[in-house]
Amino acid sequence: MIDQVPTLAQLIKALQQIPYLASKNIYQLTTYFLQLDPEKIEHLCTVLLKARAKIVPCSICYVWKEFDGACSYCDAPGRDAKLICVVETWQELLTIEKTGGYQGLYHVLGGVICPLDGVGPEELAIAPLIARAQSGVTEIILATNQTPEGEATAAYIARKLADTGVNISCLARGIPVGSSLAFMDRLTVYKAIADRRPF
């Protein structure tokens, strides 16, 4: 049926190429767009293009920021620059920020080491982290997820940091093994950071 409506097939194909959209929702999403006010579609396209052009990762911590603006963390007054929390993605950072109990800086790796997916240490922001560790930092919290890849990535970073003299810590036990920090409740994450232990 869809083949006989080539424009519709093209829309579905384009939407299917967006990762993270559950495939079971593709048809609902297609219907949503087909019924959406053209002005709203135009607005969405404009917002996407503008974001793509103007938002870049911070050159220090790799958190998204405005191209010509300050970093919400590195440039924020009152944050403890001696403390860096290392997270896999921006999503985990937001989870930690929501606890309101962390005042240090961050470092977003951009993923985890996963040879099967072709992701090696070079694909992640690990080298810049090692460099940052040598600029007056006293503690680095490895807050990668407690999955095999997350733990292997933390172990790799800890080995690389061994000669820097920086204290290396990790989240307290209490986060269920195999789970992502981003899906934990606020109190669990707060306690995991407050009760962190040496790596």
Minimal distance in Å, beta carbon 28 to Zn ion? 37
Q: Is residue 84 close enough to count as binding Zn ion by CB under 5 A?
A: no
Of 84 and 154, nearer to Zn ion (C-beta) is 84
Q: Are 199 and 165 in contact (CB under 8 A)?
A: no
CA neighbor of 99 nearest in space, from 173, 175, 184 = 184
Give the nearer residue to Zn ion in terms of CB position, either 29 or 74.
Answer: 74
Site string for Zn ion, 35-74 (x = CB under 5 A): -----------------------x-xx---------x--x
According to DSSP, residue 196 is labeled -
Paired tokens of 195: 């009760």
Closest contact distance (angstroms) between CB of 74 and Zn ion is: 3
- Assigned token pair, 152: 């292997």
Size of the site for Zn ion (CB under 5 A): 5
- The residue with tokens 């407050």 is 194
194 vs 199: CA distance, rounded Å = 14
- State the minimum distance, in angstroms, from the CB of residue 111 to Zn ion: 18
Q: Long-range pairs for 30-33 at CB < 8 Å and ≥24 separation?
A: none
CB of 63 to Zn ion, least distance (A): 5
Q: Give the interface with Zn ion as residue ranges (CB under 5 A).
A: 58, 60-61, 71, 74
